[in-house]
């Protein structure tokens, strides 16, 4: 019995130490996405994806921005769930300082009030995507849908301006949205929302996904690469902030480089 108690205590201590020393630090996740749908002139195009900022430290965010500004990125995409109140304005002001060639675009999440978020984005020279999309470059179309929980996402409406030859990136805060609507015209979806499970057991067991509230599709969208109902690629970022605290669910910023195949 004493051995069992010792093992349990040791596991708890390991998890708490990991939460304090590791899980509160952002991981820069460098990835390459290769596709025959990517035009040759877009080869090497660099996309930053930041999601679920929540209560993330403003001081630390400034340091992250200093680093991101060294990457010579082309585009910044924001996946929703920003802070509220005065912190929203401060975060938007900071994010607007990220230097990218083709601008900053984003969607709302289930913790956002569109009446506050979208005006703040516009004020800081960002473009809200509200069931809408546009051409960022020739043959590169970026779309975004409203949050699934609080509003009504409409993928078809968001993609209405896309052409057959375009490489299409869809922003959807909640990845469940891409299971309910046709994504066959989308090449890549970027989502957040699930925080990688937030509190996990060595990163393997993620009890939050036992409840349908976070996602109706089990561990499918717990973090990392997945597929939509139409077999379209989805990357689900673990995000930067927390609802409670992180244990073996690291924070991340995605740096995605497109590669023509």
What pLDDT digit, counting tens, does each position of 88-129 carry?
999 999 999 999 999 999 999 999 999 999 999 999 999 999
Q: Are 243 and 19 in contact (CB under 8 A)?
A: no
Q: Is the pLDDT of residue 47 over 80?
A: yes
Q: Which residue has the higher pLDDT, 205 or 179?
A: 179
pTM of model > 0.85: yes
What pLDDT sits at residue 162? 95
Angstrom CA distances, 7 to 4, 73, 132, 199, 203, stand at 5, 46, 52, 19, 18
Q: Are 150 and 116 in contact (CB under 8 A)?
A: no
Return all residues near 93 (Cβ < 8 A) that are at least 6 apart: 124
Mean pLDDT, rounded, for 121-150: 96
What pLDDT sits at residue 241? 78
Distance from C-alpha of 170 to C-alpha of 129, rounded to nearest angstrom? 10
Torsional sign, CA 176, 180, 181, 183: positive
Partnered with residue 135 across adjacent β-strands are 141
pLDDT tens column, 149-158 = 889 999 999 9
Q: Which two tokens stand for residue 177?
A: 């949205």
Overall number of domains in the chain: 1
Q: Which residue has the higher pLDDT, 206 or 80?
A: 80
Q: Residue 177 is part of which domain span?
A: 2-260
Q: Is the pLDDT of residue 194 over 80?
A: yes
Mean pLDDT, rounded, for 187-202: 81
pLDDT tens column, 52-70 = 999 899 999 999 999 999 9
CATH number of residue 214's parent domain:
3.60.21.10
Q: Is the pLDDT of residue 31 over 80?
A: yes
């Amino acid at each position: 019995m004493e051995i069992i108690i010792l093992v349990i205590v040791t596991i708890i201590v390991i998890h708490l130490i990991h939460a304090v020393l590791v899980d509160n630090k952002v991981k820069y996740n460098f990835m390459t996405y290769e596709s025959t749908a990517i035009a040759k002139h877009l080869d090497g195009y660099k996309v930053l994806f930041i999601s679920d900022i929540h209560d993330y430290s403003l001081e630390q965010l400034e340091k992250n921005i200093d680093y991101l500004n060294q990457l010579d990125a082309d585009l910044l995409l924001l996946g929703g769930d920003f802070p509220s109140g005065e912190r929203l304005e401060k975060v938007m002001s900071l994010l607007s300082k990220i230097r990218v060639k083709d601008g900053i675009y984003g969607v709302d999440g289930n913790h956002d009030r569109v009446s506050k978020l979208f005006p703040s984005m516009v004020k800081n020279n960002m473009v809200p995507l509200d069931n809408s999309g546009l051409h960022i470059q020739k043959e590169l179309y970026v779309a975004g849908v409203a949050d699934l929980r609080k509003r009504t996402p409409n993928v078809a409406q968001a993609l209405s301006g896309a052409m057959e030859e375009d490489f299409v990136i869809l922003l959807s805060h909640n990845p469940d949205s891409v299971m309910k609507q046709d994504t066959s015209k989308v090449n890549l979806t970027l989502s957040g929302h699930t925080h990688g499970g937030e509190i996990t057991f060595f990163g393997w067991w993620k009890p939050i996904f036992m409840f349908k509230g976070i996602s109706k599709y089990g561990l499918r969208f717990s973090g990392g690469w997945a597929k939509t109902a139409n077999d379209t690629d989805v990357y689900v970022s673990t995000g930067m902030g927390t609802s409670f605290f992180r244990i073996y669910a690291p924070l991340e910023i995605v740096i995605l480089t497109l590669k023509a195949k």
